[in-house]
Structure 1
Amino acid sequence: MSQLIASRPARILIAPDSYKGSATAEAVARNIALGWSSVRGQDHIQLAPMADGGEGTIDALKSIYPSADRRPIRVAGPGGQPVEAEWLYLPPAFGSRGSTGVVELASTSGITLLEHLSPLDAQSTGFGQAIVAALEAGVSRLVLGIGGSACTDGGAGMLQELGYRFLDKNDKPIRPGNRGLSDAVCVDASAVLPLPENGVVVLTDVTNPLTGPNGSAAVFAPQKGASRQDIPLMDSALEHFAALFSIDPQTTGAGAAGGTGFGLMVWGADMKSGAEEIASLLNLPSRVKHADLLITGEGRFDRQSDLGKVVGQLRRTAAAFDVPVALVAGAIGSETEGFSNAISLSDLAGDSRSAMADPETYLRIAGAELASSFAASS
């Protein structure tokens, strides 16, 4: 690690993602900091809870704009059941582009909202309802985080809330979820809501296309409960649905959130890297540059972590400034080359179940271990 002047406290930047279903990014950062301070209380610690468009996006943006207004809303969850959610209102005072509405798919149509996974029937309807609520409030710009989805419906549920009508051969609305996509024979876009005047920015951590071997069904549907037999049928349904539009289903990012990325492209939204966008809003490149150590993390570190997610984005940023970066993850399932240290909470706890049952304790232990290692090498 960096060789420090003995009299100068170290500058530690802690910028983790949330541990999905276990701990918020703020809780992760705070507990790592507590553990670190128990060993090196003299150091300067900055917390920068992160997100990449999935769970925690609203929390991350709320930390940047503390006066922003959380707007509660009840929507149809991914299984059709009502769920309590929220969207974030950023007043015009936060910029010259007017007010902004931030909507998070994870809190409206997310996988953690399902008691039992439902790969063929889960829908993005609630996400669309929250978007409409923000539009009705008069926002002039939308920021949409689309990670953590439960559905593989191509965004059809969301698009229906925005005014699209998908009809089957009997001129009836198609069934919800991926199951209904193959029934669609025509689309009526005559009553579609216009985009707000300053546009729609979509934050995503996924670059996959909608269909094919690297598509939404093949890569992500198994995480949502799909069987091996389900995958080709789901992919075929997405391909059939995509043929109703002029958007190429192989477009980068179209497969995000079970194809909700594709649906938002149909509406006219712009796709951006969620981790990169939020890091920029948090001024992280400058903060990393002046740090002696960056600590980041996520629930599970694996081969996908470098593909648009928080950990990969921050590791590249740190490398550009020759700043060492340490990883604290719930579980580690891939090589950790490029990190100065890597700690798995599952290893600390003995198994993943114990780690998830009490993540804050093991995060503090991890923070203390990193501080001890840093002290030994400084």
Structure 2
Amino acid sequence: MNPTTVNIKKAAHLLDMTERHVCRLCISGELIGAFKHGRSWHIPISAHPKLSGVKSPDDLSAELDMLDIPANKREAGLKRLGLIREFEDYAARMVQGGKNRTESKQLFCSSHKIGVRSLSRWLTRYRDQGLIGLVDTRGGCAFISQMISPEAFETFKAMYLTPQQLTIKTCWQNISFINTDQLKGWTIPTYATMVRHVSRQIPLTASVLHREGLAAYEAKCAPYIESDPDSVQPGQIWIGDHHQYNCFIRHRGKWIRPWITGWEDMRSRMVTGWYITASPNQTTILQAMRRGIEKLGPPDSVKIDNGKDYDSQMWTGTTKQRRRALKAGYIDERAVAGIYAMMDIGISFSRPYHPQSKAIERLFDTMDVQFIKTIETYTGKGTDRKPEDLAAALQEWGVNLVFFHLD
């Protein structure tokens, strides 16, 4: 916690005065609220702006006119400052008379008909921010963006927009400490105000890019063209991908998580072909495609993954390196000598690590939620969702279960 008082030595250093001169100011009452306990003087940090590392109230009062603050809120802030100064003088007299500061606060609030919590909050905000902290910022006032010093906000952004992903609260505490420790004189808002300020002043795109990296930015924020299923006919375009089920099955004496290779019609969302295997490869793609073609006939074109199985030279007739060099998302049929070209099927490729470009991902998620979760060997989507007793259960079940072969 921040101290509410300082001793003579600390005050002399902060005020750039001699200790003797600070003592005279305490005795004369010029440092409002200073009181003597035993042989030591205790000076409230609200007695002088330099003691708390903020600008002087007079300087801030002059700045209030520049912040477009409504007149009623400006007057209310100045009134609260007057109450704080009056309380500090009252508390000093009460402490010298044998009362403690808490009792003094209760008596003062009772006589002035204000809440103890309200006065405590005003004292804290005045200590941390100066006069600007006593201004009511509710109602979305236009001056919110000017309640933090530009240099302070630049220091905040240098801490916040990093791969370390420091929280807003940590960065806010750091700049508050720097302000007090180095006597920067910055204006810093409360934590709640800082959270609102960050959400308004730092775009989500910038936050994701600097804190989570380029891959996260492209997945979450980069622009993309939405597919329009209504613009194609049923059976015209198929979308294909691999997916590993979030459950275990017994295969050849071992527990494995099976894979499905699937093809889905873009317009109707019908699963046209599928094949379940222990490990996906070019053969499983061929098997799934074969099932779909035997039942429904070949599509006009396919939209496939950028994985090494789907865009291999056997299927596309060209290597991934060469295809990327063309800088095109669609390969002309005349340049393709693979299986798709042999069947007169056009090809387009999904963007790597971009689930928006593969509608079949939604089908896999639906299967996981509605079916895979009902299986006793369900593993969860991540280690944090994995059942604690799964390993012991697999070991016990493996003794009595029948072995299955996916071939």
Do the two structures share a fold, i.e. TM-score over 0.5? no
Please report the TM-score for the alignment, with normalisation by the length of structure 1.
0.24
Q: Identify the structure with the greater strand proportion.
A: 1
When Rg is computed on C-alpha atoms for both structures, the one with the higher figure is: 2
Q: Per residue, is there more helix in 1 or in 2?
A: 2
Question: Relative contact order: is structure 1 or structure 2 higher (C-alpha 8 Å, sep ≥ 6)?
Answer: 1
